Structure formats: C-alpha cells, structure tokens
C-alpha cells in the first residue's frame, strides 16, 4: 500500500473542479498539497480551503510550457504523486467546425501538458524507486461521443500514453493510474451543460477519494461513473467482432504459426 501521510502531491488544474476534489481527498490522508493552475488566483482560493495540516500551496503553471514546468519543479522540489489533471474542452462542436488553432490548443493542454508533467517529475521518481502518476482521461477517452471528436482524441491519447507508461515505469517501482470521469461539477463542465445536467453532476471530492484509493492500491484504472458501462461494453463488442480471418489468405504469425 502506498502511504500518503506526509507525502507531497502535485495537482494540475488545481483551481477548481476535479483538481480541487483531489486536493481535498489527498489532504484527508495527511498529504502535503501543491495546487498548480494557469489562473493562480483560483489555485490560491482552493489552497485556502484546505486544512492547515495539508501545508497547501498554490503556484502558477502553464502545462503547455516545459519551461513553466521546470520553474514549478525548482519551486516545489521533490514530489511523490503527480496528478496530470489540467484539461479543456471545445464544447459541443463538430470537428469540421473547429479551427486549427483551437484543435492545437486542446491537444497542447490535454496531451502535451501530460507529457510535460511526466518529463519533469518522472525521472526523480524513477531515481528514488517510488512515486505515482495519475493522468486524467475521460469517459470520452473510452466511448467517443458526437460533437466531441477533438476532445475524445485527446483523451484516448491520454489512455494510450498511460497504459504504456505504466508498463515502462512498473519495474522502477512507480505506479500509473488513469482517471475516467463522467459528469462532474467544474467550471468547464458546467459551462457546457444544461441546468438539468448540472443538477446531476457528481461532487468532485468523491472522484478525489476514488483517486486516493487507486494510488494507495496501485490500481491502473479509476472509473467513478458506472452508468457508462453498457455503452463501453457495446463498443468493445463491436471492436472484438471485427477480429476474424487474416486479411491475407494463409497469413500466420506468432507461436501458433509454427505449430
């Protein structure tokens, strides 16, 4: 079990929503909290809500900028848990209506931002032989929805990156988990949602507590909204049904080919 008491947890997108929920949950376990956000005032506000025992601090961070990450690393020193949580959405908009600039900005924050965090903090975890990384994907990273193509692309990328990274870092004693949130209260989700949808959003602290349990137990996946299970199962069934005979007649590969 990964002991969190006294450990330092670095959370991006910490100025509200899921990031703030993670901060509260890790603080409940006795961790020290660093809330990073491009809007420093939002991160400072959330840090001020945490108990004094959390030794919470807020820093400004542009996840797109590796130099900004380096400055953050120099400011906070060693960390034990990295939560790559910062992300944006384009809202309900068909892919063909997105500008190239909008698409590039979304990928820079949602995907490159995750890479930059790993590039900055994973080496110290590897050298130490301990640590954990949590990357926030989305239910859109498991089951894509119309009008969210770009967002889904970014969140599928986070899943693929995280699965491969978990295999890469496991021998060094570093864990990796992927979070797949559904509808959760945050500035981003509430801006895109109807009044009825907002009323049915999950409180982010409960996602944070699920993240804490996954880090402690080194769980690979964190699913907080089970109502999406059937849609995922249907999609997976359609993918598996596409596996049939090889496209090339007589093609064989792998151990069974020599038997």
Catalytic site residues?
A: 151
Q: Is 14 helix (H, G, I), strand (E, B) or coil?
A: coil
CA distances for 42 relative to 35, 46, 47, 151, angstroms: 9, 6, 9, 24
Separation between Cα atoms, residue 210 and residue 127, nearest integer Å:
28
Q: Is 32 helix (H, G, I), strand (E, B) or coil?
A: strand
Name residues whose C-beta falls within 8 Å of residue 63's C-beta, 6 or more positions apart in sequence.
Answer: 12, 38, 69, 84, 86, 109, 112, 113, 114, 116, 117
The tokens for 116 are: 């930059």
**224-256 exposure pattern, b = at least 16 Cβ within 10 A, e = fewer:** beeebeeeeeeeeeeeeeeeeeeeeeeeeeeee
Separation between Cα atoms, residue 259 and residue 253, nearest integer Å:
11
Name residues whose C-beta falls within 8 Å of residue 153's C-beta, 6 or more positions apart in sequence.
Answer: 107
H/E segment holding residue 252:
none
């Amino acid at each position: 079990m990964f002991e969190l008491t006294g450990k330092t947890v670095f959370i991006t997108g910490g100025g509200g929503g899921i990031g703030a929920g993670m901060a509260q949950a890790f603080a409940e376990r006795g961790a020290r909290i660093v809330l990073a956000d491009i809007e420093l005032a939002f991160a400072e506000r959330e840090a001020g809500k945490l108990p004094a025992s959390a030794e919470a601090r807020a820093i400004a961070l542009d996840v797109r900028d590796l130099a900004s990450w380096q400055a953050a690393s120099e400011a906070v020193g060693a960390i034990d848990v990295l939560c790559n949580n910062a992300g944006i959405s384009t809202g309900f908009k068909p892919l063909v209506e997105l500008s190239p600039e909008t698409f590039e900005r979304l990928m820079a924050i949602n995907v490159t931002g995750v890479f930059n965090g790993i590039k900055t903090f994973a080496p110290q975890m590897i050298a130490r032989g301990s640590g954990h990384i949590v990357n926030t994907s989305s239910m859109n990273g498991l089951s894509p929805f119309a009008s969210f193509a770009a967002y889904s692309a970014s969140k599928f990328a986070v899943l693929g990156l995280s699965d491969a990274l978990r295999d890469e870092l496991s021998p060094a004693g570093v864990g990796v988990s992927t979070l797949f949130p559904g509808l959760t209260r945050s500035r981003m989700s509430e801006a895109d949602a109807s009044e009825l949808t907002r009323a049915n959003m999950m409180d982010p602290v409960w996602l944070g507590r699920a993240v804490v349990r996954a880090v402690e137990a080194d769980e690979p996946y964190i699913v907080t909204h089970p109502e999406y299970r059937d849609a995922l199962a249907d999609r997976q069934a359609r993918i598996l049904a596409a596996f049939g005979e090889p496209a090339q007649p007589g093609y064989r590969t792998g151990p069974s080919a020599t038997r």
